[in-house]
Structure formats: C-alpha cells, structure tokens
Amino acid sequence: MGKTQLPILTSLPAALAAFACTLTYLTYAWRFNRYSCKTFSFLWEENGLSEELAGNVETTMIGLLLISAICIWIPKIRWIALFGAFVMLSEMYSETFMTSAKYPFLYWTEWALRYSTPLIAILFFQTSEKGKLWSACIMRLAIAAVFTGHGIKALYADPRFIDYLLVTFRRIGMETQEPFAVTLLLIIGTVDILLAALILFRKPKRNHGVLIWIATWGAITALARVTYGGTGNWHEVLIRSSHFLVPIALLLTYRAVAQSDSKRTA
C-alpha cells in the first residue's frame, strides 16, 4: 500500500472491525456463562487448581469480554478492548495444551482474526494514516493465517470437517460418502492456502476479487455450524463474524485507496 493516503471512507472499515469485535466478545461471554470455557477446564481438570479458583478466573474473563465489547466504541478508553484479546489468547493457550487437543498449534493461526480484530479496530479508529496502514497490514496477515490454518486442517482431512460436509450435504438433500468428502477437503484446503498466499504476496489492488471470495467463504463456513448442529449453534456463527466482516473491511480499504489514487492521477 506504500505511502498512499487513506480517505475518510476508512471509517467504515473501522466500524466493521469494531462490530466484529463486539459480536465475538458478547457471544464468547454468553457461551462461557452457559457452557463454561476451555481455560476453566485447563486450570481445574488439567492442572489441579481448585474449582472455585478456576470459576473465579472464568467469571473474570466474562467480565473482561463484556467490558471490552463496550469500550471498543468509546474513543478515550478504546484500548481497554485489548483485554478481550487477552481472553482470546488465554482460551487459545488452554486449547493448545489440553491433552485432547488435535493439531494444537494450528489454533494460533485459526484464531488469528479473533485476537487481532480489536487491535485492527483501534488502529483504524486513529486519525493518523500510519495507524490505518498498520491496521490494513495486520488484517492481511490475520486473514492469511486463518486461511492457512484451516487449509492445513482440510488437507489433513480433519474428522470434524468431514462431519460438517456429510451432515450439511445430507440436510440439503444430497447423500454423499466419506471418500467424496475427503476429496472435497483436499480441494478446499489447497484453495484456502492459495488464497492465503495471494493475500500475502499479491498487490492489494489485484486482490479485490480474492477478498470478495474470502468474505463469502468465511460466511459460508461460519453458517455451516448451523447447518451441522441446528439453530442452537447460532453462537458459533457470531463467534466467527470477523472471518467475513474483516475481509470486507480490508476490501473497502483497498477500494478507498484505489479511488484516492485515481483522483490524484486524473
């Protein structure tokens, strides 16, 4: 993106990132309250801390998420929203080192948008062009990380992904077998990794179509949680709101830059 000046249109990407952050935080707080969290299990079941202490940590995490969801919209205290990112990192750390974890270190890539979105929003809300440019760079890296992580799991034919495909196809009236799902996952994984490479290494002005597809695919895979588990899985969709809102924010940023360049060269 170089030294291109970003026009006022970038306030919309900032709002989209903040909205994704709020949805993620509020939904996680709801899920922790209803179903508990991985950090609770990690502290109590895996490391032998008392149930009361683990419960107090979980309650604190819920409080931080709720506070962060509000503070992301208040200019003078927006930085407090980073505590929500700390909660995401805590959950990711716990998932990584749970004895039941499969492909544990891929969580660090799969969750990249969840813990980076508050920083993206904070930087974008700044008046300085440097902050906005840094935000766009972080979006690029986080989107690429998410698609790389999911792409690798697809190439490994993760059993959960196979279940998603089989159940989803069955719900729309198509009976498929596991070998077909495995083949489809190989294609999906390859495409995901290719898209991650394009986002990282291709010139931004050539990635508009790529970002439209990434946002669409992010929404489809999020909604797959509902087609798989029913409407009771609505929270799994909202938790992944950054997977489709942040790519849209980056797309709008690139388009704003392109419009600015066109006016300057006209």
Residue-averaged pLDDT of the chain: 89
pLDDT at 153: 93
Q: Which amino acid is at 69?
A: A
Q: Give me the residues of the chain with pLDDT under 70, please.
A: 1-10, 127, 260-266
Alpha-carbon gap, residue 15 to 27, rounded angstroms: 18
What is the Cβ-side half-sphere exposure of residue 253, based on CA atoms within 13 angstroms?
A: 33
Alpha-carbon distance of 241 to 258, in angstroms, equals: 26
In degrees, rounded to 5, the angle at the alpha carbon of residue 205 between the alpha carbons of residues 204 and 211 is 65
Residue pair 245/214 in contact (Cβ under 8 Å)? The answer is no
pLDDT at 260: 65
In a domain, 97, yes or no: yes
Question: Which DSSP letter does residue 127 get?
Answer: S
30-89 pLDDT tens trace: 999 999 999 999 999 889 899 999 999 999 999 999 999 999 999 999 999 999 999 999
With H, G, I as helix, E, B as strand and everything else as coil, classify residue 227.
Answer: helix
Task: Tell me whether residue 260 is in a domain.
Answer: yes
Q: Is residue 1 part of a domain?
A: no
Q: Tell me if residue 157 falls in helix, strand or coil.
A: coil
Instruction: Report the domain count for the chain.
Output: 1
DSSP conformation class of 265 = H
Within-domain flag for 43: yes
**Is residue 80 in a domain?**
yes
Neighbours of 174 (CB within 10 A): 10
* pLDDT score, position 5: 43
Task: Read off the tokens for 71.
Answer: 């503070």
> Using N-to-C axis directions, what is the helix angle for 129-155 and 112-125, rounded to 10°?
170
Residue 22 belongs to a domain: yes
- 3 lies in a domain? no
pLDDT attached to residue 4? 43
pLDDT at site 209: 93
Domain range for 215:
8-265
User: What does the alpha-carbon distance between residue 252 and residue 260 come to, in Å, rounded to a whole number?
Assistant: 12
Torsion of CA 161, 164, 166, 170, to 10 degrees: -170
Is residue 230 helix, strand or coil? coil
Q: Rounded to an integer, what distance in angstroms lies between the CA atom of residue 17 and that of residue 129?
A: 17
Distances (CA, A) of 113 to 89, 117, 243, 263: 11, 6, 7, 32
In a domain, 181, yes or no: yes
- Predicted TM-score of the model (pTM): 0.89
Distance CA 68, CA 205 (A): 33
